[in-house]
Amino acid sequence: MADTAQLPPPEAKEDDELKGSEAPLLDHLIELRKRLIYSLIAVVVFFLACFAFAKQIYDLLLLPFRWAGGSNMIFTAPQELFFTYMNVALFGAIFLAFPIIAGQIYAFVAPGLYKREKRFAIPLVVSSIVLFYAGVAFAYFVVFPLMFAFLTTTAPTGVQVMTDITNYLDFVLLLFFAFGVAFEMPVATVLLAATGMVKIETMTKNRGYVILGIFVIAAILTPPDALSQTAMALPMWLLYEVGIVMSRILLREKLAQQRREEQSASS
C-alpha cells in the first residue's frame, strides 16, 4: 500500500511526457524559422539584384519567341510593364536562390538522419538542383523555339501575332516550373524506392500506367499541340527509366538484404 501511494497519478505522468515533448518541438520550430529566414534573405537579395536588370532578363526570356519569328509585344495598362518587371525579378530571385533554399531544407532535415542516410541524401539534394536547372534549360533552348515556331505559324493570313507581355511571361514561367519539376523524376523515383513506398519491381511492372500518366500530365501542363506534349513527355519517360536504374544502383545493398530475408523466410 505504501508503494502504491507513492506512485504519481496518471495525469501527472501524461503532463511530464507532454512537457518533455515541448522542448524538442520548440527546438524544431526555432530551427525551421531560422532556415526560412535564411531562404527569405537569399530571395530578397537576389530580387533586388534581378529587379535592377529586369528589362535585360525579360529580353532574355523573349529570345525564344524572337528565334521563332515573333517580334511584337504589347501591354494594355500603364502599370502592366512595372508589375511584369516585378514578376520577372521575383522569378529570377527564386531561380537563383534555389540551391540555397534546397540547402536550407537539407540543413533542417539533416539532424534527424542517420550517417548512412546523410551520405545518401546529399547526392539527392545536389541531383535535384542540377536536374531542376537542366529542366529549365531544356525548356528554354529546345521546347520554346519549337513550340513558338509552331504556334506563330498557325496564325491566319493577314493576322499579325502580337502577344501581351503579361500573358507571355505567365506562360513562360509556367512551363519553366513544369519542366523544372518534371526533370526531378529520377529523384522522386529514388525516394519512393528508398522509403519503401513503392518497390522497384512494381515500378518496372507498371511502366505502362506510368507512361500513360506522364503523357496525361504533359497534356495538362503544355499547350494543346502534340509537339509540346511530346517534348515534355519523352524526357519525363527517359528520366523515369534513369530513376529506376539509379534506384537499383544506390539501393543494391538494401535490395540484397531484402532478398536474403525473403529466402530465409521461405526456407
Sequence spans of domains, the chain:
15-150, 184-267
Position 50 scores a pLDDT of 95
How many alpha carbons fall within 13 Å on the CB side of residue 99? 8
Q: What is the mean pLDDT of residues 48-64?
A: 92
pLDDT at 133 over 90: yes
Position 1 scores a pLDDT of 46
Position 162 scores a pLDDT of 72
Q: pLDDT digits over 190-233, tens only?
A: 888 877 788 888 888 888 899 999 999 888 877 777 777 888 88
Q: Which of 184, 191, 208 minimizes the C-alpha distance to 247?
A: 191
Q: pLDDT digits over 38-53, tens only?
A: 999 999 999 999 999 9
Contact residues for 41 (Cβ-Cβ < 8 A; gap 6+): none
- Average pLDDT over the chain reads 81
**Cell reading at 10:** 496518471
Q: What is the mean pLDDT of residues 153-158?
A: 66
Could you give the CA distance from residue 88 to residue 91 in angstroms, rounded to a whole number?
Answer: 5
Q: Strands (DSSP E) along the chain, which ranges? A: 72-74, 162-164
Report helix, strand or coil for 30.
helix
How many alpha carbons fall within 13 Å on the CB side of residue 72? 6
CB of 169 closer than 8 Å to CB of 87: yes
Please report, as a single letter, which amino acid is at residue 220. Answer: I
Could you give the CA distance from residue 154 to residue 227 in angstroms, rounded to a whole number?
Answer: 13
Q: pLDDT digits over 64-113, tens only?
A: 888 877 667 777 777 888 889 999 999 999 999 999 999 998 888 887 77
**Cell reading at 238:** 527517359
User: The cell 525548356 sits on which residue?
Assistant: 139
**Cell reading at 113:** 538522419
| Other residues' Cβ atoms within 10 Å of the Cβ of residue 142 | 14
**Cell reading at 197:** 513506398
CB of 165 closer than 8 Å to CB of 84: yes
Q: Which of 143, 142, 249, 231 minimizes the C-alpha distance to 193?
A: 249
Position 69 scores a pLDDT of 72
User: The cell 508589375 sits on which residue?
Assistant: 83
